[in-house]
Amino acid sequence: MSTTPLSPKPRARIGVYVCHCGSNIAGVVDVKEVARWAGRELADEGVVIARDYQFMCSNLGQELIEADIKEQGLTRVVVAACSPHLHEATFRNACQRAGLNPYLCEMVSIREQVSWVHTDREQATAKAKALIAGGVERVAWHEPLEPVIVPINPTTLVVGGGIAGIQAALEIADSGYPVILVEREPSIGGHMAQFDKTFPTLDCAACILTPKMVAVGSHPLITLLTYSEVERVDGYVGSFQVTIRKKARYVNTETCTGCGLCIEKCPVRVVDEVFEAGLGYRKAIYRPFPQAVPKYPVIDTEHCTYFQRGKCKACQIFCPTQPKSIQFEQQDERIQVEVGNIILATGYDLFDCRRIPQYGYGRLANVYTSLEFERLCNAAGPTGGEVVLRDGVTKPKTVGIIHCVGSRDRNYNNYCSVICCMQSLKFAHLVKERTGAEVYNFYIDMRTPFKDYDEFYQKVLAEGVHFVRGRVAEVTDAARHPGEEGKIIIQVEDTLIGRQRRIPVDMVILSAALEPRRDAQEVAHKFGIACSTNGWFIEKHPKLDPVATMTEGIFIAGCAQGPKDIPATVAQGAAAAARVIGRIHQTRLALEPIRASVIAERCSGCRICNNLCPFHAISFREDLGVTEINPALCQGCGTCVAACPAGAITGTQFSNEQVFAQIEGLLMLDFSGKPVRRLEPLAAAAEPAFP
């Protein structure tokens, strides 16, 4: 709370321009009367000229303002028209052309806030006058400002090496700019590398993904940091300083040839919970899959005999390189990089199907998640692409595929996971193709938009796959009727015939929801962006700016922004890259000069503001005993300005004086437009002496 006395109001020569916007404003507001009133009644407030015009934003309208600035010597301009979000830049530019600092212009929204939302002409006209009075009072306190110009470092950080990150990295690097790609796992590829086929074309996922992975691995402009995580982000658009922790691989990537002999010789077999989704094994020294990029293995110290018991070293002994590439003494490394822009493509996690116990996952052996099934039918997977039950030999005769597991469900996630319908159709096709089994799809609604998707649905229908409309109540092995013994029974209300059905099957596949990464909130915080209530990263505008975020210089792509299929993910990766390339081309960026600053003489060093800034812009100077604000980090929210008990922090464009003046102006007229009589000077009343 500020208690500093207001300085005397600056003298200004103000021009007021009231726009008709055709009939958009003039149809409801008596604009001529408003302009006349402003010229007459606000003369004492500094208004020297007030005009109305058909379209202020037209060239002629702008020229009117420019001429007045030059001829009438205006020092401030108030334009009463549409929302500043539409035309603030237009009128600022007009001022600048006439030699007036653009920040000395204020827009008053009498279209969105008056004519479009009110109907009574008299009341609307009164409100328009009051809003203009607010603008006039406020603009007197405006100060000339210069935009904050920041240089753009041409290097870009891409976080996440799934298909979104890969696409973004390649687009930027192919344009000739350096990229640092950070991936948490030992290899890039993401979820797509785990898939067998992709809908609706049934392309082999590896066949279309691995060439891109190789391109990333060999691109001279891409620095690939796998098995690494971003620890800390400092700085701001144009110059972020990022600390990356490169986890120890225990393999010297300089000398390792990736021959794989160490993997072969390693005596420890571990269930692969990540890439094989728990269906297959890997060694204690491993690479997630044969086509991994980079090709160098990593040692899983939790399971490595040497790390656990101090002996073995089989991998090192058999390593054919000289010197040996296995380095047990390797330590985690911290790398500092400087980048100008950041693209977050951190992907999704699969819904944990154990959370719906009635579907039996984790209890009934032959209930699979969608990711497990992907591995099961992958030719490079644990069964070599054989669709078999957990015993490893029996082919299922009937398979049930349950849609919307954890999606479109108030108990778990309200949203639609977008890909599950198509993925389930793909599974149905693959099961039919590989086993000839009867396949039942249990769906709520079939959602097959986009190119060639519904055609694929028609094709699967024609293949004889059964579709049952209804949310599955239970998946159980408790047989009630003859014929159900030894089967898994799916209990469902078939809503198309209005009856309960029990369908015995051998295998169940749960099309699990896509969920935000478990640590999405933490990551969002690290990069200074926000998550929606569902946990996905929030884009700047859901329609018109889907890959930018509210934080300058941070872009998002792929499933981190929300569930989507591969084509949409690739498109977003490329879109984010295009935005970044555009920035790099500009070499520098002009930012709004809305910033807070500390008047050192007034700062008492109380440090109340010190922990209010989520952007770490506020720091305390121990040597001077005062707080400082780094203008480069400040985002201009003004929270510290509002908090300073000494009034020592000021905020440009939103100073106390500006807001106070605007309040006074807005309250100059009562509801019906009559001037309000003041009983005592407002300035005194506005300054309650808070302790």
Quick check: 119 binds another protein (CB under 8 A)?
yes
Instruction: Select the span of 144-152, 291-299, 397-405, 522-530 touching another protein (CB under 8 A).
Output: 522-530
How near is the Cβ of 121 to another protein at its closest, in Å?
11
120 or 463: CB nearest another protein: 120
Quick check: 538 binds another protein (CB under 8 A)?
yes
215 or 643: CB nearest another protein: 643
DSSP states along 246-306: E---SB-TTT-----HHHHH---EEEESSTTTTSEEEESEE-SSTT-SS---EE-TTT-HH
Residues 371-410 interacting with another protein (rule: CB under 8 A): none
Quick check: 81 binds another protein (CB under 8 A)?
no
The H or E element containing residue 157 is strand 156-159
Among 245, 434, 525, 602, which residue sits at the site for another protein (rule: CB under 8 A)? 525
43 or 530: CB nearest another protein: 530
Strands of 592-656, DSSP E? 596-598, 618-621, 626-629, 649-651
Among 393, 533, 601, 622, which residue sits at the site for another protein (rule: CB under 8 A)? 533
How near is the Cβ of 40 to another protein at its closest, in Å?
19
Strands of 428-506, DSSP E? 438-443, 466-469, 472-476, 488-494, 499-505
Quick count: other Cβ atoms within 10 Å of Cβ 526?
A: 17
Class of residue 99 by CB neighbours under 10 A (exposed 0-12, middle 13-18, buried 19+): exposed
Residues 578-617 interacting with another protein (rule: CB under 8 A): 594, 612, 614-615
Strands of 295-387, DSSP E? 298-299, 333-339, 341-344, 348-350, 367-369
- Over the window 549 to 578, marking each residue x when it contacts another protein by CB under 8 A and - when it does not, the resulting string is -x----------------------------
Residues 624-653 interacting with another protein (rule: CB under 8 A): 635-639, 641-643, 651, 653
Own/partner pairs for 598-601, CB < 8 Å, 24+ apart?
A: 598/626, 598/627, 598/628, 598/629, 598/648, 598/649, 599/648, 599/649, 599/650, 600/624, 600/626, 600/648
Q: How far from each other are the two terminal CA atoms of the chain, in whole angstroms?
A: 10
Instruction: Select the span of 250-258, 338-346, 406-414, 667-675 touching another protein (CB under 8 A).
Output: 667-675
130 or 299: CB nearest another protein: 130
Quick check: 544 binds another protein (CB under 8 A)?
no
135 or 381: CB nearest another protein: 135
Size of the site for another protein (CB under 8 A): 72
Write the DSSP symbol of residue 684.
H
SS3 label, residue 97: helix
Quick check: 674 binds another protein (CB under 8 A)?
yes
Quick check: 80 binds another protein (CB under 8 A)?
no
Distance of CA 505 to the CA centre of its chain: 41
Among 2, 194, 407, 627, which residue sits at the site for another protein (rule: CB under 8 A)? 2
How near is the Cβ of 594 to another protein at its closest, in Å?
6
Quick check: 546 binds another protein (CB under 8 A)?
no
The H or E element containing residue 642 is helix 639-643
Quick check: 61 binds another protein (CB under 8 A)?
no
Quick check: 276 binds another protein (CB under 8 A)?
no
